[in-house]
Amino acid sequence: MKKLITSSMLVLALVLVFISCSKGPKAPDIQGYATYTDPATGLSVEYPANWVKTTNPIRFVAFNDNSAKSRFARYDTEGFPGAKIDINIYEMDSTKNLDTVLVKSEKFTKDTYEQSNTTVAGLPAKKLTYTFQLASGVFYGETYAIQVNNTTANIIQFECFDGTYDKYKEAFDKLLQSFKPGNYPSTKPDTVNKTQEGPLPSTTLITKNGMGYSIKIPDNFSAERGPSKGVLESKNFIGTRRADCNIMVDVIDASKNKKLDNIVNDLKVNYKNATPQKTNMGGKDAYVMSYTFGRDVLSRVYFVINGTKLYRITMNWYKGEEKDYLPVFEKCIASFKFE
């Protein structure tokens, strides 16, 4: 595991100057274990019995809570202290090897990962370890690419937000010890992910109100309670098509620190040390930073102060549908006003 940024504790202390110390939701304890076995592929593992699992012919996924699903879709900097187990079975041929399969599992930039050789269930494997500091704690992940035979590879992935890896390490170890690899089925499954696509964001915008502000959003988006912790209010504006395309507005108490320059400089470490750019939000001086925690999802975060409140507006969009999302989202951001 990489060494964490040495200034992280200092940054956390500075963040607490203007963000509430609310503890927020807790990661659930493990309540026993269950065994999952797929008769078609032979994949078999032990996993926490109280985790929420989803399966299809070549994939097994389990979350420590339903509330964790949306955070993993966007890799939000704040939210539920989620943990995930994700196992995929890949078909191999002469054009694929463990390295090419491993690349498919990578969500972040290359410099995030440390690679090593290992064995799982007596089979040769490659391991990736990756970690970084977020506002709410340490994100930690492990990925194992396992060569089962000439036609099959298995990918096992463990990922944890908010320093929960230590809490669930026993479960991950148990899964690796119990792991029996799956063979890619001789009859290909109809689909890897059975999803029903929702509509793209509407170009018709309607006004939604929050604590001291209004913003226009697509009329086919809903306003949900956001996942951010330690804030006065968090609203998540999101459609039904993709969980990684949304606009989120957080209202934070800034009564003890009204210097926006200092706040943004202190927080940029949580956004891959992105460079803050001056802009305008609601007729006031503001800052914006562009960043990404994944290869396929791009993000911008805006900071602006009005009175004693700091407004943090985050927008995320899927790179593959940027032409459909970004122009609409930019109109939403331009509509932001203080009430």
From first to last of the 339 residues of the chain, give the pLDDT tens digit: 333 333 333 333 334 334 444 456 899 999 999 999 999 999 999 999 999 999 988 999 999 998 888 888 878 888 899 999 999 999 988 888 888 888 888 888 888 899 999 999 999 999 999 998 887 889 999 999 999 998 999 999 999 999 999 999 999 999 999 999 999 987 665 544 444 568 999 999 999 999 999 999 999 999 988 888 789 999 999 998 888 899 999 999 999 988 999 999 999 988 888 999 999 999 999 999 999 887 789 999 999 999 999 999 999 999 999 999 999 999 999 999 999
CATH of the domain at 210: 3.40.1000.10
Q: Which structure tokens are listed for 323?
A: 């032409």
Could you give phi then psi for residue 267, rounded to 5 degrees? -90, -15
In a domain, 200, yes or no: no
CA pseudo-torsion sign 252, 256, 258, 261 = negative
Range of the domain at 17: 8-178
User: Which residue is it, tokens 């390295």?
Assistant: 99
Among 160, 178, 196, give the residue marking a domain's end: 178
3-state secondary structure of 121: coil
Distance separating alpha carbons of residues 144 and 158, to the nearest angstrom? 9
Distance separating alpha carbons of residues 184 and 181, to the nearest angstrom? 10
In a domain, 187, yes or no: no
Let me know whether 87 and 171 are in one domain. Answer: yes
Q: Which structure tokens are listed for 56?
A: 């299809």
Q: Which structure tokens are listed for 137?
A: 């704690």
Tell me which DSSP letter residue 124 carries.
E
User: Under the phi-then-psi rule, with left for phi > 0, alpha for psi from -120 to 50, and beta for the rest, what region is 32?
Assistant: left
Give residue 53's Cα distance to chain centre: 18
Residue 99 identity (one-letter amino acid): D
Let me know whether 103 and 157 are in one domain. Answer: yes
CA pseudo-torsion sign 64, 65, 68, 69 = positive
The closest of 48, 45, 46, 53 to 31, measured between CA atoms, is 48
Let me know whether 212 and 330 are in one domain. Answer: yes
Among 178, 194, 229, give the residue marking a domain's end: 178
Let me know whether 222 and 172 are in one domain. Answer: no
Let me know whether 115 and 254 are in one domain. Answer: no
In a domain, 183, yes or no: no
Let me know whether 52 and 154 are in one domain. Answer: yes
* Predicted local distance difference test score (pLDDT) of residue 8: 37
Let me know whether 170 and 216 are in one domain. Answer: no
Structural domain count of the chain: 2
pTM of the model: 0.67
Beta strand pairing status for 123-134 and 309-318?
Answer: unpaired
Let me know whether 227 and 125 are in one domain. Answer: no
In a domain, 294, yes or no: yes
3-state secondary structure of 179: coil
Let me know whether 246 and 150 are in one domain. Answer: no
Q: pLDDT tens-digit profile of 71-85?
A: 888 788 888 999 999
Distance separating alpha carbons of residues 109 and 131, to the nearest angstrom? 12
84-117 in b/e burial notation, b at 16+ Cβ within 10 A? bbbbbbbebeeeeebeebbeebebbeeebbeeee
Let me know whether 209 and 165 are in one domain. Answer: no
Let me know whether 50 and 147 are in one domain. Answer: yes
Distance separating alpha carbons of residues 182 and 5, to the nearest angstrom? 38
Let me know whether 169 and 233 are in one domain. Answer: no
